[in-house]
Amino acid sequence: MDDLDRRIRVAVVDDDTVIREGLPHLLPDLHVTAAVSSVEELLAAPPEADVILLDLVLTGTGRTGVRQGAAAVEAVARAGFRTLIYTNERRREVLVGCVAAGAHGVVHKAEPLATLASAVAEVAAGRVVITQALVGLAELAERRGGLASLTPRQREILSARARGETFRSIAERLFISKKTAEEHMAVVTAKFADFLRDHSPADLEWELGLGPGDLLDRRPMS
């Protein structure tokens, strides 16, 4: 098997030409198998891909009638792909809606490329990647009893991550390895993603004790 085959296969869905054309050059360790501007194009000829890198807004060029937001995530997930949201969107109600619709991770476009590469690897490995805003929401879910199966150590690490503490700092403080801390957090994010998928919007707001409309009453772009 050559080097090319060992690389993670990524399909990019983004209406931004620079992203579509630029990512293969910026992240040479990834094998970009397709770069299309809509979910419809992707599903018309499904590529070989371990991860779909999906932008949330796909009407930037003025197109209408294409799926985007949670509807796009849902369509890609239904086709059996693992989806990593690659977006500038920071509203947690939108991000929660996309994870609930089947996304396996969220990375902001403002993050360094190394973070994107790492997130792609995590999602390809079957794990879930969430942003800091969603980590805070995970802590809220845990405190309100929504993540009852977490171990005390996992709760401890979730609490630290919600406060922005780095894995290195957590590891030093708890006398564990950085890798162990990351693995604990991976379990937490997976359970949180399941929690989001298993609850209706109204249930989520009730479980998390949030006001109506704080999360999902305003459906994400579709």
Partner 1 sequence: MAAPSPAPVAQPSTPHAVSPGSRLRTLALRYRIGDRTGLPTTAAGAELAVVIAFVSLRIGTLLEILPAAPHGLRQASGGGLDAALMGVALVESAAMCVLAVRRRRYPVGWWGCVDVVVAMAVLLCEPWYLRSEDWVGTWTAWGGALSVNAVFGAAIGFPARWQTVLATCGVSVAYAVPSLVLADAHASTAASNLVGYVVFAVSARSSATFVRRLGRDADHARREAALAAGQAERDRHRLLLHDHATILRLLSEPGLEPGLVEALRRQAAAGAVRVRNFLDQPDGVSPDGPEDLAALVRRAGEAFSDLPIDYAVDLAAGVVIAPAVAVPLREALATVLHNVRTHAAAGQVVVHADAPPGLDCWEVSVRDDGRGFDQASRPLGFGLRVQVSRELAEIGVESEIRSVPGAGTVVLLRGRLDHG
- Contacting residues toward partner 1, per CB under 8 A: 110, 112, 131-133, 135-137, 139-140, 143, 162-166, 168-169, 205-206, 208-214
Minimum Å gap between C-beta 212 and partner 1 is 5
Minimum Å gap between C-beta 169 and partner 1 is 7
Minimum Å gap between C-beta 146 and partner 1 is 13
Q: Establish how many alpha carbons lie within 13 A of residue 201's alpha carbon, considering only the half-sphere containing its beta carbon.
A: 18
Q: Based on CB atoms, which residue is closest to partner 1, 52 or 107?
A: 107
Q: Based on CB atoms, which residue is closest to partner 1, 115 or 222?
A: 115
Q: Based on CB atoms, which residue is closest to partner 1, 66 or 140?
A: 140
- Bridge partner list, 32: 10
Minimum Å gap between C-beta 59 and partner 1 is 26
Q: Based on CB atoms, which residue is closest to partner 1, 45 or 110?
A: 110
In angstroms, the CA 167 to CA 179 distance is 8
Q: Based on CB atoms, which residue is closest to partner 1, 53 or 130?
A: 130
Local structure of residue 150 (DSSP, 8 states): -
Minimum Å gap between C-beta 28 and partner 1 is 23
Minimum Å gap between C-beta 163 and partner 1 is 4
Q: Based on CB atoms, which residue is closest to partner 1, 30 or 135?
A: 135
